[in-house]
Structure 1
Amino acid sequence: MKTDWDEGAHGFRVFIAGLLLVGAVVALMCFIRVSILRNFMHGETERYLGEVSNHIADQVDQRMADVFEAMDTAGDLCLRLEKPGERMELLRVAAGSNHMVRMGIADMDGWMETTDGRSLSVSGSPVILRALGGEAAVSDVAYSPTEEAMAVVYAVPLWQDGAQVGVLAGSALLDDMRSYLGVESFGGEGYSVIVDRQGDVVTSTDSKNAPDEDLNLFLDLELGRVDRGYDIGQVRSDMESGRSGILYYALRDGIHKTMVYQPLDYNDWYLLSVVPTETAGRTVDRMILLAVVVDSAIVLLFLALILLVKRSFRRQRKELEQLAFCDPVTGGRSRAYFTREAVKLLRAAPPGTYALVSMDVEKFKLINDTFGSEMGDKTLKFIHDVIAARLGEGELLARISGDVFKLLLKCGDRAVLERRLGEMAEEINRFNDKLQEKYLLTMAEGVCIVDDPQLDIVTIQGRANEAREAAKRSKPGSVNVCAFYTNDGRSRMLREKEIENRMEAALAAGEFEVYLQPKVELRWNSVAGAEALVRWRDRTRGLLPPSEFIPLFEQNGFIVKVDLYVFEQVCRLLRKWLDEGKKPMPISVNLSRVHLRSLNILAPYDEIRARYDVPPELLEFELTETVAFENAEALRMVLGEFHQRGYRCSLDDFGSGYSSLNMLKDLNIDVIKLDRTFFSDEGENDRGDSVVQSVLELARRLRIQTVCEGVERPRQAEFLRRTSCDMVQGFVFARPMPVADFEELAYSGKPVPMAQTE
């Protein structure tokens, strides 16, 4: 028979069991919640730390790329200077601009002359050997006895006329490289380190937690422990294979850390970004223990912990976003932020609501080269702030890289959008209003109206970039030039890419043909010479006009090879005429402005002419008035070299610019070719006739031969016959023609008939 004691004891046991059950459920719930929270925190930490690491890696890679670009520019300028003293002075200036203690030029045998007056052999230096092999390189960190400090050496190959002639090297203190990593996080607890693939520390930040620079990463990790199933061997394998990764670990200091590692673009180096792992896990464990004691207290503390962790997470997230989403130059938004927010806005808006604009500051590099990178950064911030002040709600702006900005603007009418961009450019240049000598900042803008918001953002940005490149190829008449993306523009770019893919093979296969356009002597209507022009007989599309490929070749530099090819065909033809006993006629060839970038532009031409043994007076080089206007001093030197070798030189497109008479005075030209616009109104404009006659008479007095080109009508030819013009080149007599047709016309012994149609 059960007693009250027994029933009371049973009830107590039930009560205790109930408490234990509730406690177990609460404990299980606490455990589940904390586990979920811990995993979430780890995931978010990994994601945001990865974004910070990417940001720092981009800065490091960009800084080193800027150093190599500056050294390439300095090397190119040095090769243009003949005096060693001038070269060293230029290198001293370049060294100071790039925070280097010295620079020097090494020849192909490894002997180097430095800016501090030393001459030494560097043939055993690995970084010099890599540069002598044609590769830009940076050395490992080593002790420099001269500076009594750790330093690195940058080296770039020097090229002249397509051949390597030496190496330009520069030494920079390790403190300069350390400044690349000047980004801290988590209240100064985070830091960044550069290591090589063997784990040796190259350099690190000045953070209090950063390791010593004589440390080996792998040895240090082996003395600690790795958490959550991660493996040090996997880190070694990733670094050997050039992969990125993440590691959770604790060293002898007992502090749990999270490390993201990713490869850099140079020297097989790796960037490590490290932050301490927050103590949320240990705090959660304490909450679980408290839950066993008091159910309600655990719930309240757990909620308090959630709020605390959430607040801490928000603070850390804000710090990470500040690093990942803030541009350090302008203080505005970064590329990552722009891309993320642009996708959100585009997806939520109807088609045609937005236009993505890619904006480039034309010739911005001159600002950095002339005034220094600090002034360049201030200019970029000024441009950013002016544009940002003119943005409306729901619009975005970010500096993407260098001097390129991206804008997401509400579209509206196309003309309104273009006018708005023009007003931004004018506002940017408003600082010139009170300046006597103005420095205009010209903007090139490519616009892609987003008709399909679901289109990939990379594709949209690519289309805006295509339009921007098209805008840069046009000639701006104001402080901005704007182009809109069209399918025609994309088709043109695809066609240009196809041409670039085929041009080398086409030249090797002899698909380029030389056509000759006769120059007719007006007194007897006889052929007195010719201009060599190039045509491309494509194997699939047939004969292509020069307008299809010449502008592209001038842009990518392939025109140099084409010009040399045409010159060789002309020399071969002249040799043939000489061997056949025919009286050879002088032939002119075009010389692109690209050739003027070379210090010894005549060397390949001399070699070809000598090979065919052609008298130099039979060869004439045509240069455009634009070339003379852009670099008159360089052209004056080139003309002297031409005449020393016996070549003739002509100035093409004379009269198309504004400095022609000055050129007649300053440049030693043998022939001027009057542009068709010079006399397009002849017979109908007495003032125009007087100008033409005056220029021809002036040329005659200066003993300069004259050729009027682009003559298409008989009355133009008759007018020129009555003047002192020497020759005519144009459709009124003959179009450009194959060599065989030219020979038939030139050596027929008959006058060249004039076209009778107006």
Structure 2
Amino acid sequence: MKQKQSMSVYTCIWIVAIVILIFSLFQNMGYSKVINYSGIVRGGAQLAVKEELNGEHDEQLILKLDNILRELQTGEGEYDLIRIDDDSYQKQLDDMQVTWHLMKDKINHLDQQQARDELYALSQDFFTQADKMVATAQSVSDQHLFNSIAMFFIYLIITGGVFAFWYRYKQKQIQQVMYTDKLTGLYNGAAFEIEVQKHSESAMNESVLIYFDLDDFKYLNATYGYLFGNQMLIAIAKALREFVDGRGSCARNSNDCFFVFTHYHKNVINDLKTCIIQSIKNEIEFDISDDITFTFGAYRIQKDISIQDMMENALLAHKNAKTRGKGNVVWYDQNLLDKIYQEGLIINQMHRALIDGEFQMFLQPKFKIPSLEIVGAEALVRWHMSDGKILYPDEFIPLFESNGFIYDLDFSILEQACQFIHERQLYHFIIAVNFSRVTIHHKDFYERFKGIIERYQIPVKCLEIEITESAFNDLSSTILNMLMRLRNDGFVVSMDDFGSGYSSLNLLNTMSVDVLKIDRVFLLKQDEKKVKIIGLIIDIAKALNMKVICEGVETKQDLELLTRLKCPLGQGYYVSKAVNEEEFIEKFLNKMEEG
């Protein structure tokens, strides 16, 4: 669109220039015609005098010369002559008219010798006057042509200069659109690469490249509005400009993600974080700066590395920081490389491990409060590797969620839980099975889930579908309808880790669940506020006819607190950690059967 606009302006400039040139040429042709007819007057007058002196009167020639002289003075007549508005030229024409009238008077009295002599003398004067008139007309024509050419080139120079200025201005606008983030005014990723490239090698070796994002930005937008979100991004951009202070560069890479290239020092991440928080405090009306966290990936720049590799290293560090949770900082260093190498080994072994049954189901009991009577269990996974090493979920679940393998793993644990219930005939015992958000989004989830249940002929009340609270925030209406379909089939749906994210009552309204599972964080470092929140969650669950269970029950103090708050169910180390099937049978099921 902009190229078409530039071409249109460029074309208009040349059209106007050509029109000016054509107009000047036509006007110069008019001057040429005047000069030509001035010559005709000069020659015609001489011819008329010659004929009269020879006794041949030519009235038609005289009339023609009258008309030409009058048209040269007025610019009106049959010969289409223009009037030359030059004082000297017009005075010369007036003098010629006077001489011409005298000549015509003498022509009428040629019978006298004196008249003939005077006519001849007047014709000579007229010829001299005509010569001067023609010369003046030629001079005026030449001057006009020079002025026209000069104006033409001046026009070209001025319009060319204006066009060049306009073109450069438009190019700057295009550059700004191409390389500048419209909202914050920072560079975008492409421009950032160019800017970092400009720094000297010595500066590079003392610098750091940081990539970070604002945790839970979607939630902030949804809660406070997109205008607030934009204000937040602008405040962050202002902080970054102040932080680099012309000695580095910064850019907005995507929605709430930013690059920072600056001088390295020991506390560079903490200083950057402080600068951003302070800017948010100054620029944002809401007092939420203490609740905001950022996830950082950083790379201390080494010699002989390309800009693209620097950025990829920072991005890789940031990606690993995100897997560790909110507010984490990960440096691209040997520890990260070791972790990546370990993840590579895990990925290479995961399919074989699933086939070989290395992913084993462990069970952690759920109990009544305060009697501690066992009423169910949660199925958890442990990876017993072929070399005897045991990996816990935190070491591989995030990786499996990112590469999609979690789908097969979740259903493997479901199958182990169904097999356990079927073999032990535990038809009055509930086992909760966790499902990742990745798994429940799979288009075949419902069919595969129902297929396993039907194969082992498990009563629907024996299984609880446990999904984390954060996963519910991202569920589409299609997935919510599918979960509702499972509830209508009789399966129990549980919201795990309730309160750990950004819980909302609307979430409970749009996706009614059967069980709320209070996150363990509320029992850590108990205070009056946390106790009140636990009590409120319990009251809300009861008001909505939901079951409620609190995880993380590890001490007698926890049990007494939950007893006082009338929380009906608990889960935690106070009774038992997660144990394998044999130990669970021995410690709990056998005792239940004996009871």
Tell me if TM exceeds 0.5: yes
Aligned twin of 1:448? 299
Normalising to structure 1: TM-score of the pair? 0.45
The change in CA–CA distance for 1:426 and 1:648 in structure 2 (over 3 A counts) is same
Aligned twin of 1:103? none
State whether residues 557 and 594 of structure 1, in contact with CA within 8 Å, keep that contact through their aligned partners in structure 2: yes
State whether residues 425 and 443 of structure 1, in contact with CA within 8 Å, keep that contact through their aligned partners in structure 2: no
Distance in 2 (alpha carbons) for counterparts of 1:381 and 1:668: 38
State whether residues 298 and 330 of structure 2, in contact with CA within 8 Å, keep that contact through their aligned partners in structure 1: yes
The change in CA–CA distance for 1:747 and 1:423 in structure 2 (over 3 A counts) is closer
Aligned twin of 2:548? 706
State whether residues 652 and 674 of structure 1, in contact with CA within 8 Å, keep that contact through their aligned partners in structure 2: yes
Larger deviation: 398-407 or 633-642? 398-407
Aligned twin of 1:624? 468
Q: Secondary structure at the match of 2:591?
A: coil
State whether residues 588 and 621 of structure 1, in contact with CA within 8 Å, keep that contact through their aligned partners in structure 2: yes
Aligned pair partner of 2:201 in 328, 342, 347: 347
1:252-306 per-residue CA deviation (whole Å, 9 max, x = no partner) reads xxxxxxxxxxxxxxxxxxxxxxxxxxxxxxxxxxxxxxxxxxxxxxxxxxxxxxx
What is the correspondence of 1:343-742 to structure 2 with a 5 Å cutoff? 345-349=199-203, 351=205, 353-358=206-211, 395-396=248-249, 407-412=260-265, 414-415=267-268, 419-420=271-272, 423=275, 446-450=297-301, 452-454=302-304, 459-473=309-323, 484-522=331-369, 525-540=372-387, 542-578=389-425, 585-598=429-442, 601-631=445-475, 637-657=481-501, 659=503, 667-679=511-523, 692=534, 695-696=537-538, 699-700=541-542, 702-718=544-560, 720=562, 724-742=566-584
- State the 1:512 CA deviation: 0.6
Higher relative contact order (CA 8 A, sep 6+): 2
- State the 1:610 CA deviation: 1.3
Aligned twin of 2:25? none
- Calculate percent identity across the aligned residue pairs: 28
Distance in 2 (alpha carbons) for counterparts of 1:698 and 1:383: 38
1:492-512 per-residue CA deviation (whole Å, 9 max, x = no partner) reads 233223323332232222211
- State the 1:363 CA deviation: 9.8
- Name which one, 1 or 2, has greater alpha-carbon Rg: 2
Q: Which amino acid aligns with 1:745?
A: K
State whether residues 625 and 660 of structure 1, in contact with CA within 8 Å, keep that contact through their aligned partners in structure 2: no
1:634-682 per-residue CA deviation (whole Å, 9 max, x = no partner) reads 7753442122111112222234456466666664332232333445577
Q: Secondary structure at the match of 2:497?
A: strand
- State the 1:618 CA deviation: 0.9
Q: Secondary structure at the match of 1:489?
A: helix
Aligned twin of 2:83? none
Q: Which amino acid aligns with 1:711?
A: V
Q: Which amino acid aligns with 1:626?
A: S
The change in CA–CA distance for 1:181 and 1:731 in structure 2 (over 3 A counts) is farther
Distance in 2 (alpha carbons) for counterparts of 1:593 and 1:443: 23
Distance in 1 (alpha carbons) for counterparts of 2:428 and 2:270: 57
The change in CA–CA distance for 1:612 and 1:529 in structure 2 (over 3 A counts) is same
State whether residues 396 and 409 of structure 1, in contact with CA within 8 Å, keep that contact through their aligned partners in structure 2: yes
Q: Secondary structure at the match of 1:466?
A: helix
Q: Secondary structure at the match of 1:734?
A: coil
Q: Secondary structure at the match of 2:343?
A: helix
Aligned twin of 1:146? none
State whether residues 239 and 276 of structure 2, in contact with CA within 8 Å, keep that contact through their aligned partners in structure 1: yes
Aligned pair partner of 2:180 in 330, 334, 339: 330
1:17-69 per-residue CA deviation (whole Å, 9 max, x = no partner) reads xxxxxxxxxxxxxxxxxxxxxxxxxxxxxxxxxxxxxxxxxxxxxxxxxxxxx
State whether residues 330 and 381 of structure 1, in contact with CA within 8 Å, keep that contact through their aligned partners in structure 2: no
Normalising to structure 2: TM-score of the pair? 0.55
State whether residues 514 and 566 of structure 1, in contact with CA within 8 Å, keep that contact through their aligned partners in structure 2: yes
State whether residues 563 and 591 of structure 1, in contact with CA within 8 Å, keep that contact through their aligned partners in structure 2: yes
Distance in 2 (alpha carbons) for counterparts of 1:654 and 1:381: 32
1:201-254 per-residue CA deviation (whole Å, 9 max, x = no partner) reads xxxxxxxxxxxxxxxxxxxxxxxxxxxxxxxxxxxxxxxxxxxxxxxxxxxxxx
The change in CA–CA distance for 1:620 and 1:411 in structure 2 (over 3 A counts) is same
Q: Which amino acid aligns with 1:469?
A: K
Query: Between Structure 1 and Structure 2, which shows a larger proportion of helix residues?
Result: 2
State whether residues 517 and 551 of structure 2, in contact with CA within 8 Å, keep that contact through their aligned partners in structure 1: yes
Any unmatched runs of 5+ in structure 1? Answer: 1-178, 189-317, 367-378, 436-440, 754-758
Q: Secondary structure at the match of 2:178?
A: coil
State whether residues 400 and 406 of structure 1, in contact with CA within 8 Å, keep that contact through their aligned partners in structure 2: yes
Q: Secondary structure at the match of 1:732?
A: coil
State whether residues 366 and 569 of structure 2, in contact with CA within 8 Å, keep that contact through their aligned partners in structure 1: yes
The change in CA–CA distance for 1:406 and 1:655 in structure 2 (over 3 A counts) is closer
Tell me, yes or no, if structure 1 residue 747 matches structure 2 residue 589.
yes
State whether residues 649 and 669 of structure 1, in contact with CA within 8 Å, keep that contact through their aligned partners in structure 2: yes
Distance in 2 (alpha carbons) for counterparts of 1:464 and 1:671: 41
Report how many aligned residue pairs link the two structures: 424
Q: Secondary structure at the match of 1:589?
A: strand
Query: Between Structure 1 and Structure 2, which shows a larger proportion of strand residues?
Result: 1
Aligned twin of 1:9? none
State whether residues 523 and 552 of structure 2, in contact with CA within 8 Å, keep that contact through their aligned partners in structure 1: no
Q: CA RMSD in A?
A: 5.5
Distance in 2 (alpha carbons) for counterparts of 1:524 and 1:428: 50
The change in CA–CA distance for 1:404 and 1:700 in structure 2 (over 3 A counts) is closer
What is the correspondence of 1:113-512 to structure 2 with a 5 Å cutoff? 328-330=178-180, 345-349=199-203, 351=205, 353-358=206-211, 395-396=248-249, 407-412=260-265, 414-415=267-268, 419-420=271-272, 423=275, 446-450=297-301, 452-454=302-304, 459-473=309-323, 484-512=331-359
Any unmatched runs of 5+ in structure 2? Answer: 11-167, 220-231, 287-291
The change in CA–CA distance for 1:396 and 1:641 in structure 2 (over 3 A counts) is same
